[in-house]
Amino acid sequence: MFWLRSIFYYSMTGLIALFIAALAGAAWGLGFVLIIMALSCLFHIVNLHRLHHWLKNPLLDNVPGGLLLWQEVFDQIYAEVRSQKKAKERLAGTLDRFLLAAEALPDGVVILDETDRIEWCNPASCEHLSLDRKLDMGQTITHLLRYPSLRDYLKEQDFSHPVIIRISRPTEQTLSAQVVPFDSTRKLLLSRDITQLERVQTVHRDFVANVSHELRTPLTVVGGFIETMIDMPASDAATRETHLQLMYEQTQRMQRLVEDLLTLSKLENGAQVREEDVDIVQLMQQLRTEANGLSQGRHNIEIGKLDRARLIGNRDELHSALGNLVSNAVRYTPPGGSITLGWEKRADAVYFCCRDTGIGISPEHLPRLTERFYRVDRGRSRNTGGTGLGLAIVKHILNRHQAQMLITSEPGKGSEFAVKFPAARVIE
Ligand code: ADP
């Protein structure tokens, strides 16, 4: 197109020149050509100057407009600059989104250049490695790190595995850091807070150790009795009877433990349960009857305040949780003591309460009572048939009912286990 137009313009000039030459003579024709050439040169010089001027500040808004051939040139420049601007905007948008995503990452990311100087880092890495985003840019990372293990890791240059960093202040924290080389010279230093993960692993390990220990003791006892009985003369029926009775008790203990473990596992799996309208008055009476059965007349068990109320929840789970609190009250209250149950509606919530005049609990134990296998007095718990899992089960069930357990206790005087249910669960 450009060439066609050029040929057309100059052919037209030639034709007109020939026409003038034919009419007025060759000198006039040549004069015309010279004038057109001079004007054409001037035109091109002016437009070249405008192009040169624009190139100093090549913005889309400044692209000059032109005439004739130059119109085509400037239009093409305009279209090219416009498409470049759009591509640049798209690229900048993508980069911005990448940066925002990297900033929002819970894991720390530090980009290091070939000499281990910080090129970029995200807020999480600053928090993990105590870096300052403004002051530390461009600094060599090994000069800034407070953790010797990480410094050594970076110096040794073996990045096939992560390094674990344990921090004790201001809070106990465990970090995992790993270097990932990229771009042949640069490196990414990634850091992750694995405190929670480690805690879960420790709890899991302790749990397995506790379960094994709890099962091993009764199994050893049963095994020991069986061994004795094998060598026992058949005539010794009385001893055999005693041994069988003791073995039965140990198997009962194992059975209780396995049942509690299954209950806990079911609760932890978080399976949804059917919610229903629970008749609290009837449940309270059932709890009292069961407590009397467990106490065998050794305690004075009564129901104090009993506001008429119904609750939305799972009856079996509520029975299991509140029953656990009542059975603990009976088990940890010496004979002659009293246990009072109550159900009270207040403005903000409804409260179940189980108060005893038992052995009580020292304040330092209170925060840990709902941990699995935590007991204040292991021997006493075992002698009264405890598995150490009761309150852990209670806590799970209450969580599922958005309820909260409140414990007040005084050693030697007694304890009160209250449960606060949200008002939204109460039916008037
Ligand atoms: P356990 O099977 O040992 O009773 P729980 O989880 O039910 O396990 O309770 C944990 C510990 O809390 C018990 O071992 C006991 O030391 C203490 N405890 C629970 N309830 C009472 C209570 N009413 N009075 C005194 N101590 C209690």
pLDDT, tens only, 348-403: 889 999 999 999 999 999 999 999 999 998 888 888 888 999 999 999 999 999 99
Shortest-distance Cα residue to atom 21 of ligand 1: 328
From 37, 71, 99, the end of a domain falls on: 99
Q: What is the pLDDT of residue 245?
A: 92
φ and ψ at residue 84, rounded to 5 degrees = -65, -40
Strands 163-167, 173-182: pairing kind? antiparallel
218 lines ligand 1 (CB under 6 A): no
Check whether residue 412 and residue 302 sit in a common domain. yes
Distance CA 245, CA 278 (A): 40
Distance CA 192, CA 173 (A): 11
The alpha carbon of 74 and the centre of ligand 1 are apart by a number of angstroms equal to 88
Q: What are the Cα distances from residue 37, in Å, to 17, 31, 42, 44, 84?
A: 12, 10, 9, 10, 36
206 CB-side CA count, 13 A: 10
Residues with Cβ within 8 Å of residue 308, at least 6 apart in sequence: 281
Q: What are the Cα distances from residue 95, in Å, to 28, 100, 249?
A: 65, 9, 70
Residue ranges in the chain whose pLDDT is less than 50: none
From 138, 171, 193, the end of a domain falls on: 193
Check whether residue 92 and residue 113 sit in a common domain. no
Check whether residue 75 and residue 27 sit in a common domain. yes
The alpha carbon of 185 and the centre of ligand 1 are apart by a number of angstroms equal to 61
Check whether residue 236 and residue 321 sit in a common domain. no
The alpha carbon of 218 and the centre of ligand 1 are apart by a number of angstroms equal to 20
pLDDT, tens only, 211-249: 998 899 899 999 999 998 888 887 788 888 888 999 999
Which amino acid does the sequence have at 414? G
Domain, as residue range, for 167: 105-193
Q: What is the pLDDT of residue 336?
A: 96
Is the CB of residue 318 less than 8 Å from the CB of residue 278?
yes
Check whether residue 321 and residue 401 sit in a common domain. yes
Check whether residue 7 and residue 60 sit in a common domain. yes
Check whether residue 80 and residue 114 sit in a common domain. no
The alpha carbon of 318 and the centre of ligand 1 are apart by a number of angstroms equal to 18
From 53, 78, 99, the end of a domain falls on: 99
Check whether residue 304 and residue 406 sit in a common domain. yes
Measured from the CA of 381, which atom of ligand 1 is nearest? 3
Is the CB of residue 128 less than 8 Å from the CB of residue 108?
yes
Shortest-distance Cα residue to atom 11 of ligand 1: 375
Distance CA 64, CA 71 (A): 9
Q: What are the Cα distances from residue 72, in Å, to 2, 151, 319, 409?
A: 8, 62, 88, 92
Helices 195-231 & 237-268 angle (0-180, nearest 10): 160
Distance CA 375, CA 332 (A): 12
Check whether residue 233 and residue 373 sit in a common domain. no
CATH number at residue 247: 1.10.287.130
Rounded to two decimals, the pTM is 0.69
Check whether residue 291 and residue 399 sit in a common domain. yes
Distance CA 127, CA 25 (A): 91
Check whether residue 293 and residue 408 sit in a common domain. yes
Check whether residue 44 and residue 167 sit in a common domain. no
CATH number at residue 171: 3.30.450.20
Which amino acid does the sequence have at 192? R
How many structural domains are present in the chain?
A: 4
CATH number at residue 374: 3.30.565.10
- Residue found under tokens 């049963």: 222
